[in-house]
């Protein structure tokens, strides 16, 4: 994949079907294993290209409706094509989850996989919305990643981006200031993902305002890659142009190459690119 293609991919968030195999496919199956028997309506928040919805429809013939809310029009278009064979068992809506609009559906299952950190610091709005929309006895299945963070609030993908910025000439000690000041063409703070991701303790307090925790499951999400280009592709499909705004437009092709190179070095040094805890919360609305 050429650098210019990676930049286009980042703008359109395309290619996620391939990129998700590095991490998200494991979450999808893990979450669907927790869906109660015979669900009728399932709602996926941040439904992306419709992979979870398709798996749910295949696994649960009882589903009469699988609903997806997704912000990216490009991903909705890809999901619509993928889910076309399911006809009127599918409904897709473009939506900003930080300001969710009322829906006519009362799902008995709501899912959200690796999305909540993008809603920081407004997570409470979507949590209240889910509580109010779930059918009686319904379940909310939520996955959250929890990378270790340093004193600057950087961790997880931020660490790979930090290495890439250093490769492009930024002093390592100056990287937190690049995030805070939005140097390059960012035009403002690019909040580190590890800062966007609340700690398990903080998140538990937030969730408990609206839900009771029925159970939790924990695992480690480990990413391995075959070469640097694969990770450039993964980063662009997963994070879009979020991080690349830290550099001027003329250097963004270099940035994506540097991210891939940094990940590939990690693979060689550690045997993996990233390894972080992920939690699956099984929740029910408070009475």
Q: How confident is the model over 137-155, as pLDDT tens digits?
A: 999 999 999 999 999 999 9
Sheet holding 139-145, edge to edge: 90-94, 65-70, 41-45, 109-113, 139-145, 274-285, 211-223
Q: Name the token pair of 161.
A: 């981006």
The answer to whether 106 touches 133, Cβ cutoff 8 Å, is yes
Mean pLDDT, range 263-284, rounded to an integer: 96
Of 181 and 200, the structure prediction assigns the larger pLDDT to 200
Sign of the alpha-carbon torsion through 173, 174, 175, 176: positive
Of 165 and 101, the structure prediction assigns the larger pLDDT to 165
**Across the chain, what does the average pLDDT equal?**
90
Residue the block writes with tokens 């250093």: 166
What is the pLDDT confidence band of residue 282, given thresholds at 50, 70 and 90? very high
- pLDDT surpassing 50 at residue 178: yes
| Residue 219 to residue 144: CA distance in whole angstroms | 11
Q: Name the token pair of 50.
A: 């419709």
| Residue 50 to residue 85: CA distance in whole angstroms | 12
| Residue 51 to residue 67: CA distance in whole angstroms | 12
Give me the pLDDT at residue 274, please.
93
What pLDDT digit, counting tens, does each position of 247-267 carry? 999 999 999 999 999 999 999
Cα angle value 246/247/253 (rounded, 5°): 120
Give me the pLDDT at residue 111, please.
98
Residues 6 or more apart whose CB falls under 8 angstroms from that of 204 comprise 213
Task: Give per-residue burial for 35-47: e unless 16+ CB within 10 Å, then b.
Answer: beeebebbbbbbb
Q: Is the preceding omega at residue 121 within 30 degrees of 0, hence cis?
A: yes
- Taking the model in full, what pTM does it have? 0.89
Residue the block writes with tokens 């009127």: 88
């Amino acid at each position: 994949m050429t650098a210019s293609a990676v930049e286009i991919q980042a703008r359109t968030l395309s290619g996620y079907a391939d990129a998700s195999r590095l991490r998200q496919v494991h979450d999808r199956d893990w979450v669907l294993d927790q869906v109660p028997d015979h669900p009728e309506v399932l709602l996926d928040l941040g439904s992306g290209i419709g992979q979870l919805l398709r798996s749910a429809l295949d696994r649960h013939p009882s589903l009469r409706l699988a609903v997806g809310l997704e912000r990216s029009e490009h991903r909705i278009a890809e999901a619509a094509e993928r889910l076309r064979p399911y006809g009127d068992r599918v409904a897709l809506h473009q939506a900003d989850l930080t300001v969710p609009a009322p829906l006519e559906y009362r799902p008995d299952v709501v899912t959200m996989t690796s999305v909540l950190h993008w809603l920081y610091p407004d997570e409470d709005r979507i949590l209240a919305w889910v509580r109010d929309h779930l059918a009686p006895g319904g379940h909310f299945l939520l996955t959250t990643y929890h990378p270790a963070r340093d004193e600057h609030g950087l961790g997880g993908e931020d660490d790979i981006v930090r290495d890439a910025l250093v490769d492009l000439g930024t002093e390592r000690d100056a990287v937190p200031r690049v995030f805070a000041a939005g140097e390059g063409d960012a035009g403002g703070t690019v909040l580190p993902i590890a800062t966007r991701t609340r700690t398990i303790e903080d998140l538990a307090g937030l969730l408990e305002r609206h839900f009771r925790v029925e159970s939790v499951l924990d695992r480690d999400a480990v990413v391995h890659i075959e070469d640097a280009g694969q990770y450039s592709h993964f980063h662009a499909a997963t994070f879009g142009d979020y991080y690349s705004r830290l550099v001027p437009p003329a250097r963004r092709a270099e940035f994506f190459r540097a991210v891939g190179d940094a990940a590939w070095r990690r693979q060689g040094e550690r045997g993996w690119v990233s390894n972080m805890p992920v939690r699956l919360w099984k929740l029910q609305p408070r009475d």
